[in-house]
A and B are shown apart, each in its own frame.
Chain A
Amino acid sequence: MLPHPPIPHVPCGACLTHVNHLGVRLGGQLILDDLTFDLRCGEITALVGPNGAGKTTLLRALLGEVPYTGSCHFHGGPGHPARRLVIGYVPQRLAFDRAAPITVGDLFALTSGGRPVFFGLTAQARAAARASLDEVDAAHLLDRRLGELSGGELQRVLLALSLCPEPDLLLLDEPQQGLDAAGLERFHEVVARLRGRFDMAVVLVSHDLAGVARVADRVFLLDRRLLAAGPPAEVLLKMAHSSGKN
C-alpha cells in the first residue's frame, strides 16, 4: 500500500454498506441483537444510546475485531474501483505518555506501508501526510510530538490519518472525549466538511445529542437492538418522548 494523498471528490451517493441481521455474543452475553441497516456514502450516521448499549462493539464488529453472526456487505457505486471495503477508524484515544518520542509524522509512517518508522517518511509519504492533515486544518502539526497536541488537535490528526488511504467507511469512536465545547464544534465542522469531499459513509458514535442534531443526516438509537433510526429531529424527539414516559 503506497502512500498517496487523498483525492477529494464528491460522494457518488450509490456506495452502500449493507448490514444484515448482525448479532454479537461475547462471553455468553448477547451484546448486539439482529441489527439490519444500510450506510450510504455522503451520509453521516450518528450512533447514540446509553453506556453499554453496544455502540463500540458495533464498530469493533464492523472492523472485524469481534466475531458476529449475520453479514456485512459492501457494494461500490458505478465507477468505484472493485476492491474490499476500506475502513478508516478513529479510536477514542491513543495510549502514549506525554514524553513519548513520537511525532504526527511518525504516526503516518507507522500506518503507511512497510518502511520502518525509524527511517522517517519518504518525501512522497510526507507530502501525502501533509495533504491529509490539510483536509482537517492540521498541516502545521506534522512535526509536532503527540504529547504536545491538545485534545482537539489530536482528534483532527487521527481523523486525517483515517483518510489515508481513502476509506469507503469512516468509523469515529466517541471522538469528543478530552474536548471542550469549542473543540467539539470544530471537530463536527471538519467531519461535516469531509462528508462532502470524499466518497465515504461516516459513522459517528456520540454522547453529544446537540452536536448530533447539527451534524448527522441520520441517527441510530441503539440499546442492544436498533430502537429507532431516522432523521435527527425525529429520533431525538422519540427519545425525549420515551424518557418523558418513564
Chain B
Amino acid sequence: MAFLSHLWHHLIGALPWAWAQFPWMRKALLAVLLAAPLFALIGTQVVGLRLVFFSDTLGHAALAGLGIGVVAHLVQPWWAMLIWAVSIALLMTYVQRRSRAAMDTVLGVFMAFSVALGIALLSHSNQTKQLLNYLVGDVLSITAAGLAGLAVALLATVALALRWFNALALTGLNISLAGSRGVRVAWVQTGFAVLVAIAVTMVIPWIGLLLINAFLVLPAAAARLLARNMGQYLLWAVGLALIAGVGGLISSYYWDTPTGATIVLWSVGFYALALIFHPRPTRAAWPDPAEA
C-alpha cells in the first residue's frame, strides 16, 4: 500500500505541470479517478430507473445524520450520516412499495424533514461551520483512509454490477417481466437503494451534499443522449465522468475555484453539448399510428 502510494506520487509528480507538484492535488486526482467511474456506474441505473429525485433526497438526508452525529458528540459524525442515509433509503423503499401516495411528494417530505432536522440540531450545538463543510465539500482534503474507502467502494460496485446490473435494469422496464425471469424484485430494489445511500454518503465529504446529485446524475444523463445501446451508455457515462472529474480538478487549480463545483460545471457543459448535438431518432417513435 505504501509502495503504491509512493509510486503514484512519484509518477504524477514527474509531470511537468505546476499542479502536479502538490501532494494534495495528486491525492485529489486519485480520488476523482476512483469516484468518477463509481458514480458513473451507479448513475446510469439511477437515471434509467428514474431515481434522480430519490438519490437527491438521500444526499440531503446526510444533513440530519450529521446533526445527530454532532449532537451525540461522535468523533466521526460521518458514521451517523451513513447509518441515517441507509435507514432513510430503506424507509423510502418500503413506503414506495406500500403506499399509494405520489412518490415525488413522499420524497419531498423526507428531504424537508432531513434538512430541517439537520439545521436545527447543528444550530442548537453551534456547529454551523460543520454544516458549511458538508454543504460544499473539499476533495483537496481527502485522506489516505478516504482514498482506500473509495477504492473498496469502486471494486465492490463493479462486482455487484457484474452480478445484478441485468436484474436491476429489468425491474426498471417492467416489474412483472423481471419477476417472470426469476428476479427477486424487492431484494434488488432495496439493495440498490442501500448501495446509492452508501456511495453518496462516502463521496459527500469531498464533493458536498449540494452538488452530490449532479456529480452522480449528469454524466449518465449526457451519456443517455449520445448512446445507442447499453454498452455505449456505460462507456459514455464513465468517459464523461472521468473527463469532467480530471478537467474540473485541474481547472479549479488554475481558476482558484472550489473543485466540486468546477467538476459539476464541466458535467453541465457536457450535458448541454449532448443535448444540442445528440443524434435524433431516425423514425417516428412509439406509439406509431401508421402500423406496418
Contacts and interface: CB of A to CB of B under 8 A. Distances in A.
Question: Which of B163, B173, B231, B291 has the most A CB atoms < 10 Å from its CB?
Answer: B291
A93 to B, nearest CB: 7
Interface in B173-191: 173-174, 176-177, 179-181
Given A101-B233, A103-B229, A153-B292, A89 B177 contact: yes
Given A103-B228, A103-B229, A117-B230, A150 B292 contact: yes
Interface residues of B, number: 42
Nearest to A185: B291
A26 interface: no
Contact of A95 (B174, B228, B281): B174
Given A64-B179, A89-B177, A99-B225, A148 B231 contact: no
Question: Which of A110, A120, A182 has most B Cβ within 10 Å?
Answer: A110
Interface string B81-109: 00000000000000000000000000000
Interface in B245-265: none
Chain B at the A interface: SS class: helix
B62 to A, nearest CB: 29
Interface string B211-232: 0000000000001110111111
A99 B224 contact: yes
B231 A119 contact: yes
A150 B163 CA distance: 32
A118 B173 CA distance: 16
A104 to B, nearest CB: 10
Interface in A84-111: 87-89, 91, 93-96, 98-103, 105-107, 109-111
Given A65-B179, A89-B180, A110 B170 contact: yes
Interface in A131-152: 145-152
A154 interface: yes
Nearest to A102: B230
Given A91-B176, A103-B229, A147 B224 contact: no
Interface of B: 48, 50, 161-163, 165-166, 169-170, 172-174, 176-177, 179-181, 223-225, 227-235, 278, 281-292
